[in-house]
């Protein structure tokens, strides 16, 4: 990876040393079942090698400058909060929410859930509480959609997942207002892991927003390793929105997958604009007839960073449909790799699959690679893909400047339009406005003259 010259700082001798071992796992596990699961993941972690460019999924996004021994497990003796983060900047107004959970990497959790939803059996809690109070739901979900042996990082997360959220909606419950989860991670040279579980039973529906916030500065690199497992029951509908806003020194590696049952619908939206290196593996498996999904991604690379997505659309049943659109705007010496695959199993007749990746080069010398792919094992299907890469249209800039708009502002408006058009896929207006405001703010300080 050649994104920039930032080096991960050496660990200072006055840090409190933490050792990743079985004793740590036992201390972090609320019960024997949780310990056994984490220990199995820990053993997988020890056996698996660090991903290299020899592995297909990592050949364009290597970890050449990644040194895991430079990070510590747990808090450090002298770490202090940055004190500059206002949680109110991230959450949607509570009047527009049905529930809110806030987790911080120092162990604090705040939960607010509509009392009527609680009475109907809706669950919104941190992972540790869920393991203690709702073990059957945890055991039916955790590690079954994203396995610990998927990579060294999924094993790392599942052996350290004391930070996490369970969101469960019982059969037939339709939640009108969104539920929001915010994870705030900070530290210096720390490993932070987060495990999100979402389960909608039959005929349930909701909008769920997951926001990841990584605090820090360029002198204190941190690693975030996350796993997201989603199950959408028969006839259920989930609008799932992710917002990834890591500071410039974070490494973030996410393994995320959703399982869709018969007649279910998933509208999945991902927005990312930060980190030193971010890599997200995003997959859907349509295992029930007539399941359908839309996957939408927006990334904004404004500095010398790397934001990569590896997407996977797996059709395993008849009459399923997937529609993927990922847009990326890049500037300076940033780097982006999108790799996508649609796989149609032999049993998945009448599949309709599409994927598109569109890239806009704003200024400087960014590097972009797009790698679409199809693997079709069935007849009577319709699958296609498209990729575009281009600069800001000079004619559009001329048109706007000829009407008195300064050139920098004209470019910003064009970039905003390119990215924000995808927001129409989000049904909730409040969520759309939140992401649009983030895009506008980032572009407002971007252009290189």
Residue 187 scores a pLDDT above 60: yes
Query: How much is the pTM?
Result: 0.92
CA distance 227 to 257: 8
Bridge-based pairing state of the strands 321-332 and 292-301: parallel
Q: Report the SS3 class of residue 392.
A: coil
Lowest-confidence pick of 175-179, 220-224, 281-285, 305-309: 220-224
Q: What is the pLDDT of residue 70?
A: 67
pLDDT in tens, 198-232: 999 999 999 999 999 988 766 678 889 999 999 99
Residue 79 binned pLDDT confidence (cut-offs 50, 70, 90): very low
Residue 121 scores a pLDDT above 90: yes
Q: What is the pLDDT of residue 74?
A: 54
State the residue for tokens 């410039």. Answer: 248
Residue 357 scores a pLDDT above 50: yes
State the residue for tokens 């009577």. Answer: 380
Residue 82 scores a pLDDT above 50: no
∠ CA 358-361-363, nearest 5°, is: 165
Edge to edge, the sheet with strand 205-214 lists 109-113, 99-104, 179-185, 205-214, 237-246, 265-272, 292-301, 321-332, 352-364, 382-391
CA distance 28 to 10: 27
Residue 10 scores a pLDDT above 50: no
Distances (CA, A) of 408 to 298, 398, 412, 417: 22, 12, 6, 14
* Token pair of 1 as six digits: 């990876």
Q: What is the pLDDT of residue 65?
A: 65
* Token pair of 153 as six digits: 């990082």
CA distance 350 to 332: 43
Q: Domain segments of the chain: what residues?
A: 22-392
């Amino acid at each position: 990876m050649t994104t920039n010259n930032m080096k991960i700082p050496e660990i200072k001798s006055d840090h409190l040393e933490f050792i990743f071992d079985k004793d740590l796992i036992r201390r972090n596990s609320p019960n024997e079942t949780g310990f056994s699961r984490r220990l199995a993941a820990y053993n997988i972690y020890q056996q698996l090698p660090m991903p290299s460019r020899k592995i297909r999924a990592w050949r364009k996004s290597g970890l050449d400058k990644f040194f895991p021994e430079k990070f510590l497990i747990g808090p450090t003796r002298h770490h202090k909060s940055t004190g500059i983060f206002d949680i109110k900047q991230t959450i949607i107004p509570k009047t527009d929410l049905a529930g809110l959970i806030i987790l911080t990497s120092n162990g604090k959790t705040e939960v607010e859930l509509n009392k009527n939803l609680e009475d109907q059996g809706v669950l919104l809690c941190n992972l540790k509480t869920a393991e203690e109070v709702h073990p059957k739901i945890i055991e039916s979900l955790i590690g079954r959609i994203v396995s610990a042996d998927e990579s060294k990082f999924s094993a790392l997360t599942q052996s350290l997942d004391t930070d996490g959220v369970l969101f469960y909606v019982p059969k037939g419950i339709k939640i009108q207002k969104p539920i929001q989860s915010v994870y705030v991670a900070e530290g210096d040279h720390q490993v932070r892991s987060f495990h999100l579980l979402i389960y909608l039973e039959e005929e349930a529906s909701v909008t769920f927003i997951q926001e990841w916030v990584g605090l820090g500065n360029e002198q204190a690199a941190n690693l975030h390793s996350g796993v997201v497992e989603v199950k959408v029951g028969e006839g259920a509908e989930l609008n799932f929105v992710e917002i990834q806003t890591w500071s410039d020194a974070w490494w973030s590696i996410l393994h995320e997958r959703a399982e869709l049952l018969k007649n279910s619908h998933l509208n999945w939206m991902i927005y990312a604009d930060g980190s030193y290196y971010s890599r997200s593996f995003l997959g859907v498996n349509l295992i029930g007839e007539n399941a359908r999904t839309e996957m939408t991604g927006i990334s904004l690379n404004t500095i010398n960073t790397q934001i990569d997505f590896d997407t996977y659309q797996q059709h395993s049943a008849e009459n399923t449909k997937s529609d993927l659109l990922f847009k990326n705007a890049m500037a300076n010496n940033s780097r982006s790799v999108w790799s996508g695959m649609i796989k149609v199993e032999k049993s998945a007749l009448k599949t309709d699959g599409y994927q598109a990746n569109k890239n806009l080069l704003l200024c400087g010398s960014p590097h972009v690679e797009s790698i679409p792919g199809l693997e079709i094992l069935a007849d009577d299907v319709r699958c296609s893909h498209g990729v575009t890469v281009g600069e800001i249209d000079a004619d559009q800039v001329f048109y706007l400047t000829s009407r008195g708009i300064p050139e920098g502002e004209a470019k910003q408006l064009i970039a905003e339009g390119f990215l924000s058009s995808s927001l129409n896929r989000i049904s909730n207006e409040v969520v759309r406005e939140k992401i649009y405001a983030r895009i506008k703010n980032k572009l407002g300080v971007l252009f290189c003259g």
